């Protein structure tokens, strides 16, 4: 404590010329000498703080009380935050809905065997024929280049352009995805107004796309050429056009997230707005527009995650770090910020 007080006083003495707001000028020759004068209140305040820090004696009772409060609050808060952060980072960069080989799905994972018909939002869950469409596909076997700027989507796996074509080539309009007015969400609870909540879950979207018929290889609206080029079309069209063609989940997630920004359900207005930018007419796909909407949607998710992390830091500093440091040293870390 004494050494810190001595250091503060020394810094004030040495730094006199840099701290003062006032100046006086003396001219005794053609050259001019400027002298900086320090505000006396600055010296007084700093000296008082240094003296208080030097004289501070930690109180064992205060320390024990702070530790006890931290344990009580942290005992419930920290495990919950660890779980929430794990889920958040998994959603950002992990494989959504992926269950490693050999592992059983947890009780929170909805399957054909455990789903509740009266408590599901998934319109595809009741049909056992849809089970195969739910299997997670890491690699579809697609060849050719990857989606430009796909590294900004935080995908766990590669996103080939051919897989994006396989998805968008199976969508004509929003009605290609589901019967929006017959979704389970429209029958849940009570609502007022002409439009009930119409929520299509991510997994139901994947099932429907994999079942949809391929409408043909889309062309670029600006050039009229096949999306990805003639060579890619020749190499991949036969594969992606097949019934039940393999489509990577990373590509399906990229399309879904371009509408939702990372949410687990999508609404018809979101689909319509997204398709209006990416599929301006007929079987045309503006790949650059799709990349922009996909990256923009992912950026919203990343910003929300960053905000969540910052809020956690402020809460932990306020509840745990600040009182502990104050009880040990007598120093308030947030002086000047929260006062």
Q: What is the DSSP string of 64-117?
A: HHHHHHHHHHHHHHHHHHHHHHHHHHHHHHS-TT---TTPPPPTTS--TTT--T
| C-alpha to C-alpha distance for 204 and 206, rounded to whole angstroms | 5
Q: Give the alpha-carbon dihedral of 176, 182, 185, 190, to 10 degrees.
A: 150
Instruction: Check residue 95 and give its pLDDT.
Output: 80
Burial class (CB in 10 A: 0-12, 13-18, 19+), 199: buried
pTM of the model: 0.69
- Confirm whether 314 is domain-assigned: no
Identify whether residues 163 and 216 lie together within a single domain.
yes
Identify whether residues 137 and 230 lie together within a single domain.
yes
| Residue 131: alpha-carbon gap to chain centroid | 29
- Confirm whether 337 is domain-assigned: no
Identify whether residues 36 and 97 lie together within a single domain.
no
Identify whether residues 106 and 39 lie together within a single domain.
no
Domain total of the chain: 2
Instruction: Check residue 188 and give its pLDDT.
Output: 82
- Confirm whether 152 is domain-assigned: yes
Task: With a cut of 50, list the residues of the chain below it in pLDDT.
Answer: 1-34, 339
Instruction: Check residue 24 and give its pLDDT.
Output: 37
| C-alpha to C-alpha distance for 210 and 240, rounded to whole angstroms | 10
Instruction: Check residue 153 and give its pLDDT.
Output: 87
Identify whether residues 117 and 244 lie together within a single domain.
yes
Instruction: Check residue 97 and give its pLDDT.
Output: 81
Instruction: Check residue 152 and give its pLDDT.
Output: 86
Q: Which two tokens stand for residue 136?
A: 């997670």
Instruction: Check residue 223 and give its pLDDT.
Output: 94
Identify whether residues 188 and 235 lie together within a single domain.
yes
- Confirm whether 265 is domain-assigned: yes
- Confirm whether 212 is domain-assigned: yes
Identify whether residues 145 and 278 lie together within a single domain.
yes
- Confirm whether 264 is domain-assigned: yes
- Confirm whether 318 is domain-assigned: no
- Confirm whether 181 is domain-assigned: yes
Identify whether residues 108 and 255 lie together within a single domain.
yes
Identify whether residues 224 and 178 lie together within a single domain.
yes
State the residue range of the domain holding 39. Answer: 2-56
Identify whether residues 97 and 189 lie together within a single domain.
yes
Q: Which helix (H) or strand (E) holds 265?
A: strand 265-266
| C-alpha to C-alpha distance for 209 and 203, rounded to whole angstroms | 10
Contact call for residues 3 and 54 (beta carbons, < 8 A): no
Identify whether residues 43 and 92 lie together within a single domain.
no
Q: Which two tokens stand for residue 286?
A: 């503006």
Identify whether residues 26 and 169 lie together within a single domain.
no
Q: Which two tokens stand for residue 69?
A: 């409060």
């Amino acid at each position: 404590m004494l050494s810190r007080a001595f250091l503060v006083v020394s810094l004030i003495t040495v730094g006199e010329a840099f701290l003062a707001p006032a100046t006086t000028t003396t001219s005794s020759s053609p050259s001019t000498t400027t002298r900086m004068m320090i505000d006396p209140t600055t010296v007084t305040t700093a000296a008082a703080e240094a003296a208080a820090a030097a004289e501070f004696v930690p109180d064992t009772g205060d320390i024990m009380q702070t530790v006890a409060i931290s344990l009580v609050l942290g005992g419930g808060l920290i495990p919950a935050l660890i779980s929430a952060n794990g889920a958040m980072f998994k959603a950002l960069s992990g494989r959504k809905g992926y269950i490693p080989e050999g592992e059983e799905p947890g009780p929170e994972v909805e399957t054909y065997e455990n789903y509740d018909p009266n408590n599901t939002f998934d319109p595809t869950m009741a049909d056992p024929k849809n089970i195969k469409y739910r299997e997670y596909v890491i690699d579809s076997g697609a060849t050719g280049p990857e989606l430009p700027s796909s590294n900004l989507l935080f995908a766990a796996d590669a996103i080939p352009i051919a897989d994006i074509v396989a998805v968008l080539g199976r969508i004509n309009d929003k009605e290609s995805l589901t019967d929006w007015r017959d979704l389970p969400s429209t029958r849940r609870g009570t609502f007022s107004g002409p439009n009930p909540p119409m929520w299509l879950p991510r997994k139901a979207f994947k099932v429907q796309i994999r079942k949809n018929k391929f409408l043909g290889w889309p062309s670029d609206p600006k050039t009229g050429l096949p999306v990805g080029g003639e060579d890619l079309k020749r190499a991949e069209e036969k594969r992606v056009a097949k019934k039940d063609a393999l489509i990577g989940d990373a590509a399906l997630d990229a399309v879904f997230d371009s509408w939702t920004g990372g949410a687990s359900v999508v609404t018809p207005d979101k689909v319509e707005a997204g398709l209006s930018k990416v599929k301006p007419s007929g079987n045309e796909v503006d790949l650059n527009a799709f990349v922009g909407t996909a990256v923009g949607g992912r950026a919203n998710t990343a910003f929300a995650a960053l905000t969540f992390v910052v809020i956690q830091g402020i809460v932990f500093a306020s509840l745990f770090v600040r009182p502990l440091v104050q009880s040990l040293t007598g120093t308030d870390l947030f002086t000047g910020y929260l006062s």
